[in-house]
Structure 1
Amino acid sequence: MNARPAPEFPTWPQYDDAERTGLIRALEQGQWWRMGGTEVATFEEEFADFHGAPHALAVTNGTHALELALQVMGVGPGTEVIVPAFTFISSSQAAQRIGAVAVPVDIDPDTYNIDVAAAAAAITPRTRAVMPVHMAGLMADMDALGKLSADTGVPVLQDAAHAQGARWQGKRVGELGSVAAFSFQNGKLMTAGEGGALLFPESDLYESAFLRHSCGRPRTDRHYLHQVAGTNMRLNEFSASVLRAQLRRLPAQTELRDRRWALLSRLLGDIEGVVPQGGDVRADQNTHYMAMFRIPGISEADRNALVDRLVDAGLPAFTAFRAVYRTDAFWEIGAPDESVRQIAERCPNSEAVSADCVWLHHRVLLADERNLEITAEIIADAVAAV
């Protein structure tokens, strides 16, 4: 690659006096857990309002959010959950860890979101949920998924770990009539290092989730009368205070990422052999959690070597998720009665994207235009050297 200055990107996570003030506020209130303090409850109100949902529940992390949502939706031993084959492993493990079978289905090769026709074909009498993942903040086809749910009676659980603030045809995540799960892990669009949240369209599911996330104990219980089997998924007051500040900063960052992606995707599309992640005009707010692109036809080994070169050149670059069924973890518990080969044969797009896709951390999209031009030049040189 030609010698050039390394690009400069903003650091992540970002914080300022808003987070400091929040942490001191949480510290000085004298109660550091959600049952005695006010930060978690206030964050839940603000997060629900931001997404247009009746109810929000903050939890320890995004994986727990998925597990808890599935449990209150009736998922457990003897049931199945349909997940995209191309996703972070938590999407499938959340179902598997509560005793269900995770059934991977293929994705669209342009958007990397779940193929709704493939999901429909995988539904059986044991299916209790379809879990689309809004990949990199681009919402899945919620019209088709809503129709599938209405036609079959199988509810949708939105894995919105990448999609804080996303919209579908003007509707926010919480206005789409289905449960949605979020992550606040360190790399996410808003973060407290770890954390998660759920949005609920109805009170019954919310109340059931609240009980189960707090060891099955009602809010006002003083006599240890635990009503259901649960566990401790309660978020702490310090994390909630940080997330309140992060949420206020999110809209401006989302707007900037959207503008910068318009430039970077055009620059990437001009590079021979590079295909940036596509879009959907109905998804009218894409949060761009990752800047993703494919190099169709490249081998996985060459893709991995290319990522190494990008990292050496100063880019926060990563290989794409491995198809979930291509991991040992997927087969430990809750795997379908199929072989890797059989699943791969019905998931050709997931096979391809897993091998040829690269992503850049979203802080790249917070940089100025010149640094995005340098980024594209580095990628062009790296691809040409394959």
Structure 2
Amino acid sequence: MSETLVINGGSPYKTKPFPQWPISGERELELITEVVKSGNWWRMTGTMVDEFEEKFAKMHDTEYCLAVTNGTHAIELSLSVLDIGRGDEVIVPALTFISTGSAVIYCNATPVLVDVDPETFCMSPEAFEKAITPRTKAVIPVHMAGHACDMDRICEIARKHNIKVIEDAAHGHGGEWKNKRIGSMGDIAIFSFQNGKLMTCGEGGCIVTNSKEFYDTAYLMHGVGRPKNDRTYQHLVMGSNYRMSEFHAAILLAQLERIEHLNEVREKHALFLDNLLEDVEGITPQGRKEGSTLNPHYMYMFYYDSLYFNGMSRQQFVDALIAEGIPSFISFPVLSDTKFFKEQKFGRRIEGYDYSQEADLSNARKIASDVIWLPHYTLEGDTEDLKDIAGAINKIKNAGR
């Protein structure tokens, strides 16, 4: 007789908790205390933001880093730096968090959605090239769940058509494509430090770039148009307040000391979990291209086929997994399938683009309908945790027989 599921009155498969997230310790308390006692809580008078920017840029093999309020603002600011606005088109993957598309709209430009690779879930270079028009000014490849996009091909296509590349690396802290750090291959890259990200200060983000011109412009814009050390209220360009506080930077400096080690742990454990699930029919983990030399695994993603689970729907399967002690979520939707896009609730920022006539998004739609993901901290414990994930999946599968 199969073991009874929790949702049917049984006991949970996993009782030992996964590692806590966010991770914090004495280092965070030490640096936060230093900021409090200094009385310099603002980046313009403190040192923590500057120090974090220098260290984060170095980690990603870039010359410059600008810390900002969050990852969404980082995309908006990057687009503004590149002078992208009304009448311009920006190509984005159809499968991504809403901010990748909404930030484009916020800048009065039109996001053009393209399909993704069915294995890696990253933007298809072929779909990108096919979608280019005379209005295309930028492309935003998203390193989905930490797996790097094919940046060689994407950058080659972009250069050929004089298109700027903004890497959306919200999931990719410390990741690599052919031993090059994510964030170092495009014109600009953005990162997020929101609460669930691989390193976090609750809310935060940054831009990295190798262009002094882009950095200088971004710095002006993020500080309401004021240059460094301004004491006379100069406002040289149109900007807004995207500045990060010293408190956020203090937390990030502590988080930065752990990120490389945790990336190695997740890499190792994701491969271990892949092996555990290899023979489980109906479960197919996110694939991996040879060029992905370091995947930090912001999410552990896999296709779910209900036919092998006695017809249990994806949502029912996720609910059962959670009940068994395994935190899990369904995939992002295709952007144009959200109410926001369907009803074009764009606040009159853009008009006239018909998303019902978009290109083939069949891969993105299959991922959106079939994929499940586990948060990264499920990979940060020990092999017992990984065996529990596989065991819970098998328990649900066997219960339906």
- TM-score of Structure 1 vs Structure 2, range by shorter chain: over 0.9
Q: CA deviation at 1:296?
A: 4.3
Aligned twin of 1:348: 362
Partner of 1:218: 227
| Cα deviation code 1:20-50 (max 9, x no counterpart) | 1110111122110100100001100010011
Letter in 2 for 1:375: I
TM-align CA RMSD = 1.8
Counterpart Cα distance in 2 of 1:349 and 1:52: 32
Q: Matches of residues 49-88 of structure 1 in structure 2 within 5 Å?
A: 49-88=58-97
Q: What amino acid does structure 1 have at the position aligned with 2:353?
A: D
Whether 1:321 aligns to 2:332 is yes
1:382, 1:359 → 2: CA distance? 16
Distance 2:141 2:155 in 1: 11
- Residue identity over aligned pairs, in percent, reads 41
1:306 aligned residue (307, 317, 332): 317
Q: 1:6 to 1:263 in 2, by over 3 A?
A: same
Match of 2:385 in 1: 371
> Greater CA deviation, 376-385 or 205-214?
376-385
Change beyond 3 A, Cα 1:18–1:336: farther
SS at match of 1:95: helix
What does 1:175-186 correspond to in 2, within 5 Å? Answer: 175-186=184-195
Paired with 1:102 and 1:33, the residues of 2 have a C-alpha distance of 35
Deviation at 1:364, TM superposition (A): 0.5
- Aligned mates of 1:174, 1:202 — CA distance in 2: 13
| Counterpart pick for 1:89 among 98, 116, 121 | 98
- 225, 249, 252: which one aligns with 1:243: 252
* Cα 1:208–1:292 shift into 2, 3 Å: same
Q: Within 5 A, what are the aligned runs for 1:166-181?
A: 166-181=175-190
Distance 2:195 2:320 in 1: 24
Residue 362, structure 1, aligned to residue 373, structure 2? no
User: Matches of 1:247 and 1:227 in 2, distance apart?
Assistant: 33
Q: Which amino acid aligns with 2:283?
A: V
Give CA-to-partner distance per residue, 1:159-210, whole Å, 9 cap, x none: 0000000111111124324211000000000000010011011100000000
Unaligned runs of 5+ residues in structure 1 are none
1:7 positional shift: 4.5
Return the offset for 1:335: 6.8
Instruction: Quote the Cα distance in structure 2 between the aligned partners of 1:214 and 1:129.
Output: 24
Query: Equivalent of 2:145, from 115, 136, 156?
Result: 136
Q: Which runs of 5+ in 2 are unaligned?
A: 4-10
Q: Which residue of 1 aligns with 2:131?
A: 122
Identify the residue that residue 119 of structure 2 maps to in structure 1. 110
Residue deviations 1:31-82, cap 9 Å, x none? 1010010000110001001111000000000000011001111211111111
Residues 133, 140 of structure 1: 8 Å contact kept: yes
Select the residue among 334, 345, 351 that pairs with 1:332.
Answer: 345
Contact 1:103/1:336 (<8 A) preserved = no
Q: Distance in 1 between matches of 2:88 and 2:186?
A: 22
Distance 1:118 1:241 in 2: 41
Aligned-pair CA distance for 1:301: 8.7
Q: Greater shift after overlay, 374-383 or 214-223?
A: 374-383
- How many residues align structurally? 384
Deviation of 1:382 (Å): 2.9
Paired residue type of 1:305:
Q
Q: CA–CA distance in 2 between the matches of 1:339 and 1:147?
A: 27
2:368 matched to 1:380?
Answer: no
Letter in 2 for 1:247: L
TM-aligned CA distance change 1:215 to 1:308, over 3 Å: same
In the other structure, the counterpart of 1:259 is 268
Please say if 1:189 is aligned against 2:214: no
CA–CA distance in structure 1, aligned partners of residues 111 and 15 of structure 2: 42
* Aligned equivalents of 1:50, 1:119: Cα separation in 2: 29
